[in-house]
Structure 1
Amino acid sequence: MRALARGLITTLLLIAGLAAAGWLLLRRPDIPYATLEARYGYADSRYMDLPGGVRAHYRDLGPRDAPALVLVHGFAASTHAWDAWADKLSKTYRVVVLDLPGHGLTRTSEGYAVGRDGFETVVDQLTRRLGLERFTLGGNSMGGAVAWAYAVDHPDRVRRLILVDAAGWPRTDKGGAMVFRVLGNPVGRRVMRDLDIRPLITQGLRAAYVDPKLVTPALVDRYVELSRAPGHRDIMMGLQAGPRREATASALAAIHAPTLVMFGEDDRLIPAADGEKFRQAIPGATLILYPSVGHVPMEQIPDRSRADLETWLAAHPAS
């Protein structure tokens, strides 16, 4: 009996030791900002110190006297999501793309806490310091939620609104990506906080992009490495745990800026039916649906989606 007990204890200790060793092997430290800036910064990257300990990374492209477009990325993404649009649109428009706190190359002070209202504040502070009193505001996914919320709260500043597979309507599930189901659970967040979640990120990107050829090793590397910037993981985990501002028909009815809603019909993260909800709720909104396209039309079909945007912008000129 004693031998059996000793054997059981030895087995349990061995399992615990292997688990601890596996934990240590899978842990991934922060990557210094200097390394990330050298790897993922642009030749025209700019940085702006904002109140609250935020050093925002952004790009300001195109003619300074042209109508301005401000584009906001989604959860775990960065300014890179808009590259294909920004390069072409900046020939006609002034295009500003920025990294939100906890994302891309934007730095925050230690212990910085942000909710979605904090994202609105950063958009407001940065655009005012750039001298943009009125501008067209666009956003994808979480950035779309930031965009429509900003349009509701600052109707005097938003000339036109662009919602690309925007988040906001109440959800009872976490979509088709396992990473959101894991991060939606407090135990999952604690377990995954310091571990290598490359497989989960890869699965999430495949769900978002639909076309597996677009989910290249370089794309996965960028998402994984930028998520390991100092402070980013804490902020992104906090976003999954914190309260969210949900879209309602009554709130969105207050938006009177011309609005374009773009949605991939095969979006596995946010149902395309949410696009129709935005169209119905926002007075005069236009909806474009893309068959066989997922969560990021500006990356999956950049030329087609940009051409549609330019046609719509021409039909709704900035006054």
Structure 2
Amino acid sequence: MHKVAQTGPQSRFYHSRGLRLHYLDWGNSDAPLLILVHGGLEHARVWDQLASQLRADWHVVVPDLRGHGDSGWSSGGAYGIVDMVPDLAALVDELGERPVTLVAHSLGGNIATHYTALFPERVSRLCVIEGLGFSPQARARRDAKPRREQLREWVDKVRELDQRGPSRYPSVTAAVQRLLEHDPLLSRQLAEYVCEHGMRPTEDGQWRWKYDHLIRGTGAAEVASVEPSDLWQAITCPVLLMYGAESWASNPEQDGRVKHFAQAQVIIVEQAGHNLHHHQPEVFMGHLRAFLS
């Protein structure tokens, strides 16, 4: 076991495509590198509970995606998958020429999967928590619409985001309540922690999330995009795909997507939804440790 100083993570910064991006470094730099990537509208601190358990055996690094947490915001709302993959590539290069293990959730999982497909020689293992993007059924429903209609809907959506602005709350407590309504499987303790580290006060005395609200507009490259199964076929490392039994997401073992990976296993976590690593952290950690070992 590697020796680890019992301190919190250190904030560090790097640059990618003109943006100053933030990450947390949990120390133990002589250990194998493990990067945890959060989902959309989240931030690096959502991983704290799990990172603190993994740091004894790994050099744990947790980035804030562009537009999230303490990372810079992209002008023009450039927050598509293709915008974020170079950011992850820049971070891996920042940390040196050594293999990396990636554990990533939702949007972060999609980014990590794309990165692993493009740079398979850099990734030792990949754990993706509900992060393969659209299911075949969802793509079929979307593609039943003409591309012109899809693009028009996207333009209308981003225009509406421009006009509406970010959500504001009278207090952090109000945001906690809203988060619990959105995700009732989340513990109040974790919801309070997520809001405490993920919000900032506004000039008029209210509170807002740290993330850029334009992220909700996704990216033009995702409109009428094809399934990236040809990219998945380039991934050579072991892959763990995890899904919550109570999630809205489609099981890749049932919808056929798992067949595009050379060596992948699918694990379903009971009594858990899309944020299964938060809903059942002990169960998640058990499966993750088994996979990493």
State the match for 1:288 in structure 2.
267
2:130 alignment counterpart: 165
Match of 1:267 in 2: 247
Measured at CA, do residues 90 and 267 of structure 1 come closer, stay the same or move farther in structure 2, by a change above 3 Å? Answer: same
Q: How many angstroms apart in 2 are the aligned matches of 1:264 and 1:309?
A: 14
Q: Secondary structure at the match of 1:106?
A: coil
Return the alpha-carbon distance in structure 2 between the equivalents of residues 208 and 247 of structure 1: 28
Q: Name the residue aligned to 2:20.
A: 55
Deviations 1:43-81 (A, max 9, x none): 533232314322221122242222211111110101122
Cα displacement (A) at 1:108: 4.0
1:193 aligns with 2:204: no
Choose the corresponding residue for 2:221, options 240, 243, 248. 243
Q: Which amino acid aligns with 1:193?
A: G
User: Does structure 2 retain, via aligned residues, the 8 Å contact 1:261–1:288?
Assistant: yes
Identity %: 23
Cα distance change on mapping 1:194 and 1:114 into 2, 3 Å:
closer
User: Which amino acid in 2 is paired with 1:264?
Assistant: G
Quote the residue 2:289 is aligned against.
310
* Aligned partners of 1:119 and 1:146 also within 8 Å: yes
The SS at the match of 2:120 is: coil
Which residue of structure 2 aligns with residue 232 of structure 1? 212
Cα deviation, 1:183-229, whole Å, max 9, x if unaligned, reads: 99345423432443798996566444534646745544654549654
Task: State which of 210, 225, 240 in structure 1 corresponds to 2:185.
Answer: 210
Give, as a single letter, the amino acid of the residue that structure 2 aligns with 1:99: D
Shift of 1:278: 4.4
Unaligned runs of 5+ in 1: 1-41, 175-180, 315-319
Tell me, yes or no, if the aligned pair for 2:176 and 2:191 is still in contact at 8 Å. no
Within the candidate set 127, 131, 138, 2:96 is matched to: 131
Give the counterpart of 1:118 among 83, 89, 96. 83
Relative to the length of structure 1, the TM-score reads 0.70
Q: Tell me, in whole angstroms, the C-alpha distance in 2 between the residues paired with 1:262 and 1:105.
A: 28
* Contact 1:209/1:300, CA 8 A, preserved across alignment: no
Larger Rg: 1
Residue identity opposite 1:308 in structure 2: H
Q: Give the count of matched residue pairs.
A: 262
1:143 to 2:108 alignment: yes
Q: 1:287 to 1:214 in 2, by over 3 A?
A: farther
In the TM superposition, what is the alpha-carbon distance from 1:114 to its structure 2 partner?
3.9
What is the correspondence of 1:66-77 to structure 2 with a 5 Å cutoff?
66-77=31-42
SS of residue in 2 equivalent to 1:257:
coil
In the superposition, the TM-score normalised over structure 2's length comes to 0.75
How has the CA–CA distance of structure 1 residues 246 and 264 changed in structure 2, closer, same or farther, with 3 Å as cutoff? farther
Aligned 8 A contact 1:261 1:287 in 2: yes
Aligned equivalents of 1:202, 1:281: Cα separation in 2: 40
C-alpha spacing 1:100/1:227, structure 2 compared with 1 (3 Å): farther
Are the aligned partners of 1:84 and 1:298 in contact in 2 as well (CA < 8 Å)? no
User: In the alignment, which of 83, 87, 108 is matched to residue 48 of structure 2?
Assistant: 83
User: Which ranges in structure 2 are unaligned for 5 or more consecutive residues?
Assistant: 1-6, 143-152, 201-206
Tell me, yes or no, if the aligned pair for 1:72 and 1:79 is still in contact at 8 Å: yes
**Equivalent pair of 1:61/1:90 in contact (CA under 8 Å):** yes
How many angstroms does 1:83 deviate by? Answer: 1.3
